[in-house]
Amino acid sequence: MLQQLNGWSSASDVKSIHKTYKFEDWKQAHGFVNKISDIAEREGHHPNIALRWGSVGVTLATHAIGGLSENDFVLAAKIERVQSE
């Protein structure tokens, strides 16, 4: 499923996927984090998010199983849709 996601990569241990999104400034990056947060709450699946000036790093894994599940890829696809809005 990773091939269907633009710009996402898997960790070397293949237990998580990650993508860094670039933005023009803090406000845009922060707004994106807020949108991700709304989706994560609805899905009940919460990513690790690193907010920096001009970028947001998103890492997805399913801690309950110690690796990746289909939910990680579904949430990544939903995040992709938000980013393209």
pLDDT digit string (tens) for 69-85?
Answer: 999 999 999 999 987 76
Q: What is the pLDDT of residues 16-49, one digit of tens each?
A: 999 999 999 999 999 999 999 999 999 999 999 9
Could you give the domains of the chain? 2-83 (3.30.1360.20)
Q: How confident is the model at residue 61 (pLDDT cuts 50, 70, 90)?
A: very high
The Cα 21–Cα 5 span in angstroms is 13
